[in-house]
Structure 1
Amino acid sequence: MDNQYNSRSPAVKRLFREARELMDDRSAEYFAQPLDDNLFEWHFTVRGPPDSEFASGVYHGRIILPTEYPMKPPSIIMLTPNGRFEINKKICLSISGHHPESWQPSWSIRTALLAIIGFMPTEGMGAIGSLDYPPEERKALAVKSESWCCPSCGQISKLLKTQDPNPTESDANKEAKELAKQICFKGTSTESSQDNTETSTATVDNNTTDITDTNNDEPPVDPNSEQQSSETVLIRRNISQTHSGPMLTASANLTINVNLNSTSASSRFTTYLIIVICIAIALLLFRRLFLL
């Protein structure tokens, strides 16, 4: 198989290394290996997690890896009837191709196997490829799974190391539980952050609406001064585009009112001065014409 693939490809290097590690680390809980003619399709076998309705079961499936692995996640397909995941269908997990945003390149096929074990006792929550069979039916399928055979791999129960007659929770199962919790927690945190972002956006929109309403409620400007009205409209537009909070809007409105009052006072003073000057000129003309 080595001669069929580009040995310089990061994906090929990574998959060959993982295949050697899984072969050397064969355990009673999980095992996986690539097909003889396809490095990017693996078959895996996992034992059901203890203290669950899957405890006596052995489950087989396929892992389809993209050529961009490990930068992109694999797709996982279960082949053995189990009552938790649909068979012959890509299942939706945080580590599968359905959630590329959750995938981390540091994860591996071993991570995926442990995650499958950890996810089996969890609720399906309507995810793609999930099933919610009753516990009794899952237990019956677990018993039948021990004699299930894969056309490519043979009897799947022989692919795992012999289990201890008095099994206790192994380190692999503990790691599987912890991994499932971490992945679920990460997904929940991501959804929460998205909800918070939407809430923050809605709050900003509401604040913007409040600013517009506040500016519209300002008292009308003196209609006798066209110049003053145009300046006021310009100032209002600048406020609605610049300020983003009620407190800033209030202080800006206060500044506008002071400026407008100052403008009105100066306009009245100019008008009075012009009237006084006109009266003085009229008196001088009257004196020259009629008193001389």
Structure 2
Amino acid sequence: METRYNLKSPAVKRLMKEAAELKDPTDHYHAQPLEDNLFEWHFTVRGPPDSDFDGGVYHGRIVLPPEYPMKPPSIILLTANGRFEVGKKICLSISGHHPETWQPSWSIRTALLAIIGFMPTKGEGAIGSLDYTPEERRALAKKSQDFYCEGCGSLMKEALLPVTSGSASSQADKEAKELARQISFKAEVNSSRKSVAEPADLSGFNHLPSSPEHQQESTTLAFQDTTPNEVSENQTNSASSSQEQHNQPASNNTSMSPRQRRAQQRRVPTSTNFNQVQQPRVNTNHMGSNALILLLVLALAALIFRRIYLANEYIFEL
């Protein structure tokens, strides 16, 4: 049964264009979508020369999301190679494990060259990475030529063109190395920027991203160690502070009636002065502690005197 796709979809347009460009195999790589699934591709790459993978021909899958090219593909190796784990999504700066480093201008050809360029690099514990010995990798490279893929019917001995010493072949090797270097550098730069930006993102909500998804994510990060009651209390305190600042100019107006002043006094929390007294840390000598207690007593006395004055004024008014 022939699968039908929405030809107006950006992902479908892009994938059909890339399929036409990669239709003919080269001596370094080849990739094509499955006959019944445009979003799953099978690829074949040759191991980079002058490395432990020299002479190897490796096969794998590329699974693309419906949002491609806005989101990165997932890459899975099917041939044992000693660098990437078989049957598992590998972690590369150009794969689905790192959407923050993906660029929509990259393509499946970019992913193929990146795989070739990353093969001689160290895994460093990344997901799907292996650190086999050079002897084991050379043995697997020789054995890889006999691999046959039942999914697409590709035989590694016939999947790619014979290696040539022409300028096109050398250019592909250089491009793969340079691409791997650039992508690794970009991943390191983005990682450092992210680590520097994280404390600023958690310090407040003045710099939240504009999209709802990012707003929800940032709010979750900010309250991930806070209970629901504490979150509600924080939001209430923020609203009270803004209301207090908004009403502060009105308290300086001497033309207000006693009833208005009493209403405003009720709106302002009675613990404001107490909180202002409690904010300084009591880390001074004994004299500082006595001064703090004296200020607290004076503040409480002022509040009591204010209450009595307002009560008498209310009685007189009646």
State TM-score, norm by structure 2: 0.62
* Partner residue, 2:127: 128
Determine the C-alpha separation between the residues in 2 that align with 1:201 and 1:66: 29
Is the 8 Å Cα contact of residues 3 and 37 (structure 2) preserved in structure 1? no
- Corresponding residue pairs, total: 223
Residue 69 of structure 2 corresponds to residue 70 of structure 1: yes
- 1:172 deviates by 1.3
Determine the C-alpha separation between the residues in 1 that align with 2:283 and 2:72: 54
Q: 1:213 to 1:172 in 2, by over 3 A?
A: farther
Q: Encode CA deviations 1:216-262: one digit per residue, 9 max, x unaligned.
A: 759647949937x98xxxxxxxxxxxxxxxxxxxxxxxxxxxxxxxx
Determine the C-alpha separation between the residues in 2 that align with 1:159 and 1:73: 25
State TM-score, norm by structure 1: 0.67
Q: 1:15 to 1:166 in 2, by over 3 A?
A: closer
Determine the C-alpha separation between the residues in 1 that align with 2:14 and 2:153: 23
Residue 180 of structure 2 corresponds to residue 180 of structure 1: yes
Can you give the 5+ residue segments of structure 2 that lack an aligned partner in the other structure?
A: 204-278, 303-318
Q: Encode CA deviations 1:158-187: one digit per residue, 9 max, x unaligned.
A: 121111269996111111111111111111
**RMSD value, Cα:** 3.1
Residue 110 of structure 2 corresponds to residue 38 of structure 1: no
Is the 8 Å Cα contact of residues 92 and 127 (structure 1) preserved in structure 2? yes
Is the 8 Å Cα contact of residues 32 and 43 (structure 2) preserved in structure 1? yes
Q: Give matches, 1:128-277, under 5 Å.
A: 128-151=127-150, 152-164=152-164, 170-197=170-197, 220=291, 223=294, 226=298
- 1:124 deviates by 0.7
- 1:115 deviates by 0.6
Q: Which has the larger displacement, 173-182 or 52-61?
A: 173-182
Q: 1:178 to 1:165 in 2, by over 3 A?
A: closer
* Partner residue, 1:55: 54
* Partner residue, 1:281: none
Determine the C-alpha separation between the residues in 2 that align with 1:176 and 1:17: 22
Identity of aligned residues (%): 60
* Partner residue, 1:87: 86
* Partner residue, 1:12: 12
Larger Rg belongs to? 1
* Partner residue, 2:233: none
Q: Which has the larger displacement, 47-56 or 192-201?
A: 192-201
- 1:33 deviates by 0.4
Can you give the 5+ residue segments of structure 1 that lack an aligned partner in the other structure?
A: 204-211, 231-292
Residue 120 of structure 2 corresponds to residue 116 of structure 1: no
